[in-house]
Structures are given as structure tokens and as C-alpha cells.
Amino acid sequence: MKNRHLLKESIEALLEKYPFLGAFFEDNKLEVEGSGHLTFPEFLQGFDREAVEENAMDLESLEEGLVTYVEQMLSFLGLDREEGVWELTILAGRDKSGNPEGFDEITIRRSDIVSIVGPTGSGKSRLLADIEWTADGDTPTGRRILINGETPDKKWRFSSGNRLVAQLSQNMNFVMDLTVREFLELHARSRMVEDEEAIIGKIIREANHLAGERFDPDTPVTSLSGGQSRALMIADTAILSTSPIVLIDEIENAGIDRKKALALLVGEEKIVLMATHDPSLALMADQRIVIRNGGIHKVLPTGDAEREILAELAEMDSYIADMRTRLRQGEKLSKA
Amino acid sequence: MQLVTVSGPPSSGKTSVILKSIQALQSRKLKVGVVKFDCLYTDDDILYEKAGIPVKKGLSGSLCPDHYFVSNIEEVVQWGRKMELDVLVTESAGLCNRCSPYIKEVKAVCVIDNLSGINTPKKIGPMLKSADIVVITKGDIVSQAEREVFASKVHSVNPRSITMHINGLTGQGAYELSTLLHDGKENLDTVKGKQLRYPMPSALCSYCLGETRIGDDYQMGNVRKMEMGDGHEK
């Protein structure tokens, strides 16, 4: 630990320099108020044996923990300011039977959308895990992942703050008992964004733009409809998540404008991977990865003929959406 | 043989995580066995057996489960050696969130889940705070934001650990964990003389010894009273 000098500074000075330490003290249940003039080790010495036992504290590891926490947060914040990830490359490995995959390499850039198709159990989870782990020929597929054209730093594997991949899936729910605003505040704070209010306002605006029905910032997240929840999750992931890559596992076509949702993610310069069997979603991608028997069978660009089909599908979707709206409004349905 | 101690709150997904990681270890031709510690009941041993994994179970019954663990761990290690295991995994539930069965210089993994609530990392003691690897499960059913907030809470109580997200159903992430569990460097013959990472709570009162009656007259030994205030507060 090179930054042991932190243990010689007063808590006051530390908090001044590293405001994020507030969360460290709070989560470790350390009441530092009124002890600002002490160094952290001096503060810890204030606990007698009984208090240490009572609270199951480990003084030594708290000291080291503080230093490590500051180091990691600094690198986390520093990384935020850097350019970050602008492209991801997958180098081919092999499928479950050991045969080479049906492509050599695929590079996906910021604001690209790639869809992933293939039967359940064909290896979609494995592909995602390879990306998240930045596989280096050391996973069962033997694939390699490059970031910005290079073998990535192993920090992507172990850092808790900088996950490479954010996931959005059909089964996801909100479980916290908070209103939309409180929920976003909590997330924003964990990310230490500077202009909390502005970002929260933007997320709510965007989510309402995606959702069929508007919601209020004071609605509990657990009371949102399916469409509203998905809209909020997507807007939040697009705007507030640090992860440069977003993996979507289907977006149900109800209560949310999926085209706008993808546009929002792309607009926030995410690399979007989308597992789906819904043709109107799959064809929105620039190319699609076909998975079979644990390996990538082929990579197909979305062709012109397919784009024409996409336009037809969009018409059908809007026909269904129109019927849904009229049904909801209590109308009797009839052919146009 | 390498020893790995896995613990975590009940129903956090320990067994699923261990099963999926063992599959990955087995694919590397390693022999892995499990010893499952629990208090009153477990049928997880059947799951391990079904997967062809050598398994023993220990139920602590009327004893404190973690005390029971420490009193038996050396015998467990010797069983693992006799079975010629490459990796021996012990699994135990952290029942009161206070103790941890971790041993110095022995890899310690804590499994907790996203559904357990945002304040859970604060509530769990050395079991979470002194683990080398923290595995967070059930990420597939909560939102990305909740996953990120939960991970940041874990990070602030145990910044030195490696945090991993594992899906116990699909096994996503388990292969990666398995590479951290067996590095081939460690060869353990005995845990005699090793130390626990954190002392267990000291308590010996009349209730530990089988007293069932309630009231001051029956309370002896290490007894402490709650502060209920002076009776004037509303």
C-alpha cells in the first residue's frame, strides 16, 4: 500500500480532499462527527475492547480498507474522465465440440447495435461472460476479448465500480422501497455524479419519453407498470451506469417504445448487444451474431431486403399498438 | 489440496454457486469435494451427491454452528486428504451474521444476494468484511441500478475483496470464480495451528446451558440488558 500517509492525516482533511469517504464511514457505521481533528488510526483507538467485540470490528482491516478505498475510488473517478472504451473486439475461439467458430473477429464500436440470436442454452450466457471477464483464451471457448484493439487491463475483471457490461433483462424488477426520485438519488450518489439534480431530471424525462404512460417522480418504483419499469431501467442504464457495454435480453413490446429506447442507448454512446428473437428488434441491429452449440456460428450484416421487412414489421407493430390504445380507451374495434 | 471456505446468509445461493464452480473445476480434471455445515437440517448433500461430488455433512444441532465448524475443521481436512481431493470446499450458513468461519491464509468466499436489501452489507460482520472474494448473486432479477448500488455498498465495507457477479441458474461467472479458487499454488496438509480471522462472540450464560425459564432469577453468566430509557419518553 503506497498511500499509507493517508493514515497520518486528520479525518477532517481526508473528508475535505476525498468527500466520497463519507460513504465509507457511514457504511462501516463509524460516527466520525466531532472527531475530525483525529487521524483515522487515532479515531479507531477510541474504541475499547468491548466496543470492538460488540460491533465485530476489525481495526487493522479498517485501516487498510480506508487506504484501499481511496486508491480505488480515485482510479474509478479518474477512469471516468478518460476516453474509456470505444470499441470491443471478439476474436474467435471454439464451440462446445471444439470446432473453430464461424468467424475470425468482430469489432463493435460505440453506438453500434448487434443482436444475438440462437436457441436457449446455445451459449449466449457464455458469450456475455467472456465479454464481462475480458476472456484472454482462458475460458472454455478460448475466445479473446480486446478493448480499443488491445488486450485489456485485468482491472475489468475485479473492480467493483467499473463493470464492463450492464445488463437489462426481461426478468428484472425493482425491489427497493423507494420513490423514483429517491431511487435515482441513491444510484447517482453511488456513482458520485456532480450535478445530481440535472441528471435525475434528465433520466425521468427520458424514461417518460419511452414509456407509454407517464409517471411521477414521487411514484414508488415498485408501483410502476411493466412498461414504465423497463423505461426507467433503460433510461437509468443509458445515462447513469458507468458500463460502456449494455446487454439487453429481450425488450417486451408493451408499454414502451423500443425504437426510442435503442436510440437513447446509442445516443449515450453505449455499445449495445441485444439477445432477441423478435424480428422487429433483431433487424434494428447493424449486424447479428448467430450462436449455435456454444460457439458463434456466423455473423450476418442486416441486408437491404431485411430492412424492407423491418419497415413492414414496424407497420404491423403500430397497427397492434393502435388497437391496444383504442381498447384501453374503451372503444369498439373495427378495421380501418 | 487447496481448502476454500464459503459462507453466506441462508438462501443466498451458496450451493448453486459452488455446484457451478465445481463443474468448471471438474472440466479441468480436478477432484473436488464438499463438506456442508448447517444447523438443524440440510439436504444440499443430495444435490452434491447427484452431481457426483464426494460430500460430507455436519449438523451442529444444539451447538453454535460456527463453534462446531472450528471444532471439526481439522478432521474435515484430513477427510479431504484421504479422498485425494485437489480442492476441498466447506460451505456454511452465517446464521446470525456475526461470525465467520474464515481461517487466516485459507481462501474465504462470501456469497450474498442482491435481493437481501441495500443495508445488508452493513448488517453482516466479519463474514463479509474479511472475505477475500465476495460473490453477489441473483443479479438477473433486479435492475442494473440496484446491482450497482449494492456492489458499491459491498465495496465500501470490504474494499480489499474481489467482487464477482454470478448467476447461480445459468452459471454465468462461475467458470471465472473457479479460476480464482484453484491456483495450484497452495498445498495444505493440516489446519492445526492456524488461526481464525476473527474471534467468535464470547457468551456463556444459563441459556447456553439449557435453562428455559424466564426472569432475573434464572439468568447467570454473561448477561447484558437492553437500555430501555428512563420510562418518561413517549
Q: Domain containing B30 — which CATH number?
A: 3.40.50.300
First to last CA, chain A: 72
Q: Tell me, yes or no, whether B174 lies in a domain.
A: yes
List the domain range (segments joined by +) for residue B152: 2-181
CA–CA gap between residue A209 and residue A47 (Å, rounded): 52
Give Cα A87 distance to the centre of its chain.
16
How would residue A1 be classed by pLDDT, with cut points 50, 70 and 90? low
- Per-residue pLDDT at B230: 67
Q: Tell me, yes or no, whether B191 lies in a domain.
A: no
Q: Which pLDDT tens digit goes with each residue over A257-311?
A: 888 999 999 999 999 999 988 898 899 999 999 999 999 999 999 999 999 999 9
By the CB < 8 Å criterion, does A226 face chain B? no
CB-CB contact of A66 with A7 (8 Å): yes
- A1: closest CA among B160, B63, B192? B160
Q: Which pLDDT tens digit goes with each residue over B78-90?
A: 999 999 999 999 9
Q: Tell me, yes or no, whether B44 lies in a domain.
A: yes
Q: Which pLDDT tens digit goes with each residue over A102-153?
A: 999 999 999 999 999 999 888 888 898 899 889 999 889 999 999 999 998 8
- Mutation pick from A64, A175, A272 vs chain B, by most beta carbons of B within 10 Å, is A175
By the CB < 8 Å criterion, does A183 face chain B? yes
Which among B139, B149, B176 has the least Cβ separation from residue A129? B176
In Å, how far are A1, A137, A159, A186 from A133, measured between CA atoms? 26, 11, 11, 27
Q: Spell out where A143-244 has E strands.
A: 144-147, 165-169
- Per-residue pLDDT at B231: 60
Residues of chain B with pLDDT under 70: 95-96, 202-203, 230-234
Which amino acid belongs to residue B134?
Answer: V
| A148 sits in which H/E element | none
Answer positive or negative: Cα dihedral of A204, A207, A209, A213: negative
- Per-residue pLDDT at A112: 93
A155: pLDDT strictly greater than 80: no
Q: Which domains does chain A have, with CATH numbers?
A: 4-81 (no CATH), 87-302 (3.40.50.300)
B176 CB neighbours in chain A (<8 A) are 129, 133, 139, 157
CA–CA gap between residue A263 and residue A51 (Å, rounded): 54
Q: Tell me, yes or no, whether B223 lies in a domain.
A: no
Q: Decide which of B127 and A250 is more confident.
A: B127
Number of domains in chain B: 1
Per-state percent for chain A, helix, strand, coil, to nearest 5? 45, 15, 40
Closest chain A C-alpha to B222 CA, distance in angstroms: 13
- Mutation pick from A124, A160, A169 vs chain B, by most beta carbons of B within 10 Å, is A160
> Which of left, alpha, beta for A305 (phi over 0: left; psi -120 to 50: alpha)?
alpha
Q: Which pLDDT tens digit goes with each residue over A39-60?
A: 999 999 988 888 888 788 888 8
Query: To which residue does cell 481431493 refer?
Result: B85
Closest chain A C-alpha to B23 CA, distance in angstroms: 12
**What string of H, E and C letters represents the secondary structure of B28-54?**
CCCCEEEEEEECCCCCHHHHHHHCCCC
Q: Tell me, yes or no, whether B151 lies in a domain.
A: yes
Rg, chain B, Cα only: 19
By the CB < 8 Å criterion, does A268 face chain B? no
Q: Tell me, yes or no, whether B64 lies in a domain.
A: yes
